[in-house]
Structure 1
Amino acid sequence: MKLSIVTTLYYSEPYIAEFYERISTAAQRITDDYELILVNDGSPDESLSAALALYEKDKRVIVIDFAKNFGHHKAIMTGLSYAQGDYVFLIDSDLEEQPENLDLFWNELHAAPNIDVVYGTQYKRKGGWFEKITGNIFYKLFNI
């Protein structure tokens, strides 16, 4: 497996179909050897049903379902534990970040032989103060 794409689902049902189409198109520009791991974090909407419908039409889709909400961090870590790719791309499914950014990250990763990790942050994010503080802590720890 060349590429694993990992995302979480929580109140994501309105976005899943478009996310799937856009991330699949972006991935196929790079390789046909990819998997899309969807971790349903106990979402109370129809996210799980939408994810299972994608699995039925595309066996590259892997669906992991939490019986209750454990939080974004646990969902991402679980998705990472299932990832089989030589490369892993983490992205939220709510389309706040553009799935087409996969190309940018892929190109940057392969710009030099000594690059192991490429990540980006948004200049302006949606979300409240809690999300902003915990996000900042995550990125500071990630940079250690």
Structure 2
Amino acid sequence: MTVKAILDKKGHEVFTIGPNEKLLDAVRMLVDHRVGALVVTNGDHKIVGILSERDVVRVVGKDGGAALEKTVREVMTPKVKICNESHTVNQVMEIMTNGRFRHLPVERDGYLYGIVSIGDVVKRRIEDVEREAEEIKAYIAHA
């Protein structure tokens, strides 16, 4: 199973924010859209960073409420791991596990094309395992 299959099922919608926006606006977007991360772009759909809940907690824990006046650029993770549509679920799981990420932007031709979360990956993996189990049961029943 590939990232393409996940995106075909869930869609390509990604919530983005510009690097010069205030962290308070980013937090409001996270809450309003009920997501755990925003991909930071320059408006051209080129990825320049990612802002996760963990980034927000880290800076608020350090700077208190004043952190909300910082720009997204000051708080985001600038070195973003990405994947593409041809990555398998297992490859994405490995990237996420090794980097301890919960969100992985999907790039196509150098531009943001979608995002997969650990929830998307786990859901797809569970579906695959359940399907395989049913196939084995059917095979045994007809053997």
TM-score, structure 2 normalization: 0.25
Structure number with higher relative contact order (C-alpha < 8 Å, ≥ 6 residues apart): 1
TM-score, structure 1 normalization: 0.25
Based on CA coordinates, which of the two structures has the bigger radius of gyration?
2
